[in-house]
Amino acid sequence: MATQPDEVQAALSRRYTAGFVTDIETDSLPPGLDEGVVRAISARKGEPEWMTEWRLAAYRRWLTMKQPDWAHVNLAPIDYQAISYYSAPKNQPKSLAEVDPKILEAYDKLGVPLHERARLAGVAVDAVFDSVSVATTAREQLSKVGVIFCSMSEAIREHGDLVRQYLGSVVPQGDNFFAALNSAVFSDGSFVFIPKGVRCPMELSTYFRINAGHTGQFERTLIIAEEDAVVSYLEGCTAPMRDNNQLHAAVVELVAMDRANIKYSTVQNWYPGDENGKGGVYNLVTKRGDCRGADSRITWTQVETGSAITWKYPSVILRGDRSVGEFHSVALTNHYQQADTGTKMIHIGRDTKSKIVSKGISAGKSQASYRGLVKVEKGAVNARNHTRCDSILIGKRCSSHTFPYMEIKNPTAIVEHEATTSKISDDQLFYCRSRGIGEEDAVSMIVDGFCKQVFRELPMEFAVEAKKLLEVSLEGAIG
């Protein structure tokens, strides 16, 4: 069957539903970056001296680095002096009741379970509005079992020793250009600490949201699971519509001690730009987990549908013997979106295992690349890896690429890689339609089937959300 590219195109245009702007007063720093700005950020957050110095060290390191260009994306030069590095809502709230109703309304539109809904649903929400955490729920319940779940700013003030011990221990300040920038200017983020032997009693969830225009957002998240601790953390992101590209350079660090288990799930729906490739978020993120203890496990699950440019590789360092790293990813690109995403699995300990499942969906004129590294160090006896990368193309003007890298230094390693690329065929679409299923429903049904392997890994409520998000992102995708 011949394809119908024009109809395919027509179907791909749909409005971004999270594209509204909340009109609240903000306390922003003027654009620009120098040591004074770094100090000002630190001062506004009331940080101790060691933190200020840590930021400054990162800033000085950053000055010596160059923005990398190896990713398979077209990234326009970023003017780092044109960005404002701090933006916070005025009148900081002390409780949910004090939260600006407009902010709550914004979350409401996005369907964030705030207020009592959160507690009833068993979800604790640490909502980050622009740079400052505005609300944290269910903390009492968590603190009873010794779990700390708070904003990074608060953690720096209240749990300085823990932060100081772990911050930068997985992603060092000088790890890469964007990590260095983040280390210098990070605004807020989440901090999670699960003490020994504690199974976190609820799913922890954070919704990040960029609001003010021309504001870079630099979250810093740190999750520590001590021996035998178990935690599942969900991160959801949406951003309102803006014409200028917004920079989002987050750093996430996970530390799993002996037998600890961390599951980190992301649904990323930053503004992708319009159908002509104008605007959209640059999502340049460093996420890394460290299986520091024996028999520990870290699982990354991500559903990436947003951003003009996504550049991220949630990775696992398999340091502890018998530790396990998993990466499950669905990345959807449409219009002019570009995604270069994948993972790194670094096998160091004995009998370590990693599993990679990557599903890429490209439509419009977008391009999606999988880039993955499996590295087996000398001492990693009996390392095992299985990688599966599938791509599906919708229409004729998109592309998909796979860049698998393997560095094997131990002969006992078994590393497997499978990859497929397919098209949503007109045959599949017609088959569904001839049974009475409309074409948009058919497309989302086919794509959903394609992603099933990954969706199974998401916590229940997230899987539903992810499915909806794909439907929304593909609405009108095919004709």
Partner 1 sequence: MLKIENLHARIAGKEILKGLSLEVNPGEVHAIMGPNGAGKSTLGNVLAGRPGYEVTAGSVSYDGRDLLTLEPEVRAAAGVFLAFQYPVEIPGVNNTYFLRAALNAQRKARGEEELDSMQFLKLVRGKVKDMGMPPDLLNRAVNEGFSGGEKKRNEVFQMALLEPRLAVLDETDSGLDIDALKQVADGVNALRSPDRAFVVITHYQRLLDYIVPDFVHVLSAGRIVESGDATLARELEAHGYAWVREQAHAEAQA
- Please give the residue ranges that form the binding site for partner 1 (CB under 8 A): 1-2, 4, 425-428, 430-439, 441, 445-446, 448-453
Shortest distance in whole angstroms from residue 329 CB to partner 1? 16
Residue 407 or 427 having the CB closest to partner 1: 427
Q: Which is nearer to partner 1, 101 or 438 (CB)?
A: 438
Closer to partner 1 at the Cβ: 437 or 472? Answer: 437
Which of 2, 76 has the CB closer to partner 1? 2
Q: Which two tokens stand for residue 431?
A: 């088959």
For residue 279, the tally of other CB atoms under 10 A from its CB is 18
* Residue 436 Cβ vs partner 1, minimum distance, rounded to whole Å: 4
In this structure, the number of other CB atoms found within 10 A of the CB of residue 346 comes to 23
Q: Which is nearer to partner 1, 411 or 438 (CB)?
A: 438
DSSP code string of 348-411? -STT-EEEEEEEEEE-TT-EEEEEEEEEE-TT-TT-EEEEEEEEEE-SSS-EEEEEEEEEE--T
**Closest CB to partner 1 among residues 8, 163:** 8
CB of residue 432 vs partner 1: minimum separation in angstroms?
Answer: 7
How far is it, in rounded angstroms, from Cα 464 to Cα 426?
Answer: 27
Contact 207, 104 (CB under 8 A): no
Residue 109, SS3? helix
Other Cβ atoms within 10 Å of 244 Cβ, number: 12
CB of 424 to partner 1, least distance (A): 10
- Per the CB < 8 A criterion, the answer to whether 261 and 291 are in contact is no
Beta bridge partners of residue 352, listed in sequence order: none
Which of 312-336 are b and which e, b meaning 16 or more Cβ less than 10 Å from the residue's Cβ? bbbbbbbbbbbbbbbbbbbbbbbbb
By beta-carbon proximity to partner 1, the closer residue of 95 and 434 is: 434
Alpha-carbon separation of residue 57 from 131, 287, 318, 337, 456 (angstroms): 21, 21, 28, 34, 42
Least CB distance to partner 1 at residue 459 (A): 20
Least separation in angstroms between CB 453 and partner 1: 7
342: closest CA among 319, 363, 318, 312? 312
Of 74, 75, 72, which is closest to residue 341 (Cα–Cα)? 72
Q: How far is the CB of 275 from partner 1 (least distance, A)?
A: 23
Nearer to partner 1, 8 or 257 (CB): 8
Closest separation in Å from C-beta 416 to partner 1: 20
**Token duo for residue 126:** 């640490």
Nearer to partner 1 among residue 56 and residue 432 (C-beta) = 432
**What is the token pair recorded at 108?**
């409401």
- Are the beta carbons of 129 and 89 closer than 8 angstroms? yes
CB of 451 to partner 1, least distance (A): 7
Residue 250 exposure: Cα atoms within 13 Å on the Cβ side: 30
Q: At what angle do helices 35-44 and 49-63 cross, to 10 degrees?
A: 150
Burial class (CB in 10 A: 0-12, 13-18, 19+), 460: exposed
Smallest distance, partner 1 to C-beta of residue 314, A? 23
- In the complex, what is the shortest distance from the CB of residue 363 to partner 1, in angstroms, rounded to a whole number? 18
The whole-angstrom separation of Cα 464 and Cα 236 is 13
Q: Which long-range contacts (CB under 8 A, 24 or more apart) does 94-97 make?
A: 96/135, 96/137
* Closer Cβ to partner 1, 108 or 426, answer by number: 426
Least Å distance, CB 368 to partner 1, is 18
Closest Cα to residue 141, out of 167, 157, 119?
A: 119
Of 91 and 425, CB closest to partner 1: 425
Q: Which is nearer to partner 1, 353 or 467 (CB)?
A: 467
